[in-house]
Amino acid sequence: MTLHPNQNTDEVSIVQTEQIAVLIPCFNEAKTIGGVIDDFKNELPEAKIYIGDNNSNDKTVSIAKAMGVTVISENRQGKGHMLKTMVENIDAEIYIMIDGDGTYAAKDIHQLILPVIEGKCDMCIGNRLNNYQPGSFSNFHLIGNKLIRYLTYRLHGVKIPDMLTGYRVMSRKVVDKMCLISGGFEIETEINIKSVWLGSRICSVDIHYGTRPAGSISKIKTINDGYRILSTIFMLLREHQPMTMGGIICLILITIGTVFFCGGMFGDNLYCFILGLSMYLIGIIALATGIILNAINISHRELEQFHRKLLKSTKTRS
């Protein structure tokens, strides 16, 4: 069965309520998808497996259908778009997200899902960085992962050992509370950061990570996707901590403005003097804007919390 949600609206239909749903977003993974499906059927036979087809032009869809797996299609290109469509279409108690490229081991699902089932955490993330095959990562990718971990920790307080892993287990509680906006590979970063915002309990376990088999091509564009991930980190900082973002911009502008101001004063340059004062003014405006947006955010969160309490109270009474 293939489902095609309406691409012009955000409304999607519920596929089916399941206890455990395995979500596998795919774009041309015919070389590996059969093995991934087979492995999960063996390791977790009670789970319902869904393939997310993101405009594949190989045999990915036909292989999935032949194996009796439900296929959900998404025309907007990007892993983020595909995952959002799958989450909105699928109603489950536990969501397992994994890539379809065969680099993750299905046997690791037991140690990933157990903490969520036992209620020890709301989301369990597979950490690839302690047990991976040679050639799985380039040095550039490892450095990029470390940079992203450092920035998300310093800016958002998120301390997760592998920010970009594509293997995770999430409870219904996490999925229901989260509103995702990313369209590409930055979706993992967004999920991690917003889970921390929402107060979700997050744990991490070491997993095996292998190389892609011969003939399987990575869809990651290192420079482009790296830029989008970094942009997402700062965009979310602006959204959740506007006063911090305003303060950073203010500090940068005042520092640069001081250089121009001093150059104008001691170098007898009117243009530098005016430019320095202008940067001071813009910096103060940025800080004031951050303070105002922060007050609005606090009010919005209080309203959300009141709404959740009201819904909980209504359900209890009924």
pLDDT digits (tens, 9 = 90+) for 216-256: 666 666 677 677 777 777 777 777 778 777 888 899 999 99
Spatial separation of the C-alpha atoms in residues 269 and 106, rounded to whole Å:
67
Q: Where do runs of H (alpha helix) occur along the chain?
A: 33-43, 60-66, 79-89, 109-117, 139-156, 172-177, 187-197, 222-240, 242-266, 270-317
Q: What does each C-alpha distance from 127 to 40, 118, 188, 209 come to in angstroms? A: 19, 20, 13, 9
Going from N- to C-terminal start, the domains of the chain cover 2-239, 242-317
- 120-134, 180-194, 219-233, 262-276: lowest mean pLDDT where? 219-233
pLDDT digits (tens, 9 = 90+) for 278-305: 999 999 998 898 888 777 766 766 676 6
Spatial separation of the C-alpha atoms in residues 164 and 229, rounded to whole Å:
9
Q: What does each C-alpha distance from 205 to 115, 153, 186, 190, 227 come to in angstroms? A: 10, 19, 21, 20, 27
SS3 category, 51: strand
Q: Which of 5-14, 63-72, 125-134, 169-178 has the highest mean pLDDT?
A: 63-72
pLDDT of amino acid 261: 87
Give kind and range of the element (H or E) at residue 91. Answer: strand 91-97
Provide the phi-psi class of 246: left if phi over 0, else alpha when psi is between -120 and 50, else beta: alpha
pLDDT of amino acid 293: 78
Q: Quote the pTM value.
A: 0.74
pLDDT digits (tens, 9 = 90+) for 47-57: 999 999 999 99
Q: Are 67 and 34 within 8 A, CB to CB? A: yes
Spatial separation of the C-alpha atoms in residues 130 and 142, rounded to whole Å:
12
Provide CB contacts within 8 A for 131, sequence distance 6+: 206, 207, 208, 209
Spatial separation of the C-alpha atoms in residues 161 and 58, rounded to whole Å:
34
Instruction: Give me 241's structure tokens.
Output: 């901590």
Owner of token pair 């996490």: 174
Whether 15 shows a pLDDT value over 60: the answer reads no
pLDDT digits (tens, 9 = 90+) for 83-117: 999 998 899 999 999 999 999 999 999 999 999 99
pLDDT of amino acid 1: 42
Topology of 2-239 in CATH? Spore Coat Polysaccharide Biosynthesis Protein SpsA; Chain A (3.90.550)
Spatial separation of the C-alpha atoms in residues 247 and 242, rounded to whole Å:
8
Average pLDDT for 30-55: 95
